[in-house]
Amino acid sequence: MAGSTFGKMFSITTWGESHGKGVGVVVDGCPAGLHLVDRDIQLDLNKRRPGQSAYCTPRDEADKVDIQSGVFEDTTTGTPISLMIKNKDQRSKDYTDIVDIYRPGHADYAYDEKYGFRDYRGGGRSSGRETIGRVAAGAIAKKILSELGVTITTYAKSIGPITIDYSKFNSEEIYKNPFRFPDESIVAETEEYMRQLIKDGNSSGGVIECQVTGLPAGIGEPVFDKLDGLLAHAIMSIGAIKGVEIGAGFEAATMTGFENNDFYQIENGKAVKVTNHAGGMTGGVSDGSTITLRAAVKATPSIHMTQQAINKEGEVIDLVIGGRHDPVIVPRAVIVVENMVAVTLVDLLLQQTSKTMDNIKKIFE
């Protein structure tokens, strides 16, 4: 399948299906000399693994990573890093009733039209389980970023109609609640909202927000490989994402130029923006301020309510989907968004090393 690779100098290629033997990723372009052990990757995989709360699928997977190449004596060698995560708790029989049915909100019909057949077991490559490879690769990218002083903070901004209160923002709270909110005050309300949806057999969407600090100015390319363009590409490539905002996003369309422009001032001899409506980048290049983006996550399409669907014979039918599914994708998708941002930034940072003669001379000195 074409289209499974992302990145130029730091590239990732994910592979595997939801109900196959396993899933994984090959990371090419990771510099040699990075200390890397299983735990560095496992910590992030644990953040997206199923079965963590009543608000995600009960599929029982340890999602244990196996580093198969590219690392020797806990240090990257500069060669491709292959990571594998075995599937342990597939229940393909849960999908035998939909072999000839196109589920609403899924890629069933589109895949059948494209390839002439489809993997009906959980959606195959269109399954959210594909994101395991992204998370594993992103964990490596974040290790590189951490050594450069770049920090990424990602969290659920909203689930359904419930939105965080920024005055109560606490980053330490994000992984202490099942929804990945940085605001503890709305957890109980969200639990009640989700319990009712689950009782009704329904699901919810939400918004994930990501902030990057410590990224220097000058990262990104002016035209087709704009920083904001590549970030949007990376995030929109995640299956459940239906929209991306940078900075003020769609709100910028309602502002005047005077309101939207980020004015400059000088602090300690450096240019600093008074506001950050641009979201940390202008002209496709980072400007040294905080990068801010948001991703709109659709509601889980696999719901236990009667839906109108069609089958391969062209008949309209009533469908109730069985099996195990997340009533809300947002909490487990937080780490997916974060790590795709990391992969994008590392790729562009490595490209930046060859943009000036001064940088090249530093490497060869």
Structural domain total, the chain: 1
Residue 242's domain is classified under what CATH number? 3.60.150.10
* Structural domain containing residue 88: 5-364
Q: Output Rg (C-alpha) for the chain, integer angstroms.
A: 21
Residue 345 pLDDT > 90, yes or no?
yes
Buried b (16+ CB within 10 A) or exposed e, 338-358: bbbbbbbbbbbbbbbeeeeee
Our measurement of the distance from residue 152's CA atom to the centroid of its chain's CA atoms, rounded to an integer in Å, reads 12
Question: Helix, strand, coil % (nearest 5) of the chain?
Answer: 35, 25, 40
Counted residue by residue, the chain has a size of 365
Residue 39 pLDDT > 80, yes or no?
yes
- Nearest to 280, CA basis, from 215, 186, 332: 215
- Cα separation, 254 vs 231, in Å, equals 23
- Cα separation, 32 vs 41, in Å, equals 17
- Cα separation, 346 vs 230, in Å, equals 12
Fill in the amino acid letter for 327.
Answer: P
- Nearest to 18, CA basis, from 86, 111, 67, 113: 86
Q: How confident is the model at residue 175 (pLDDT cuts 50, 70, 90)?
A: very high
Averaging pLDDT over each range in 50-59, 87-96, 112-121, which range is the top one? 112-121
- Cα separation, 173 vs 285, in Å, equals 32
CB atoms within 10 A of CB 133: 23
Task: For strands 22-28 and 81-86, give the pairing.
Answer: antiparallel
What is the model's pLDDT at position 89? 63
- pTM to 2 decimals? 0.93
Q: Are 102 and 6 contacting, i.e. CB atoms less than 8 angstroms apart?
A: no
Torsions phi, psi for 116 (to 5 deg) = 90, -5
Report in angstroms the alpha-carbon separations of 361 from 156, 171, 214, 364.
43, 40, 24, 5
Percent of residues, the chain, with pLDDT higher than 70: 96
Mean pLDDT over the full length of the chain: 92
Higher pLDDT, 128 or 249: 249
- Residue 97: both structure tokens together: 């009733």
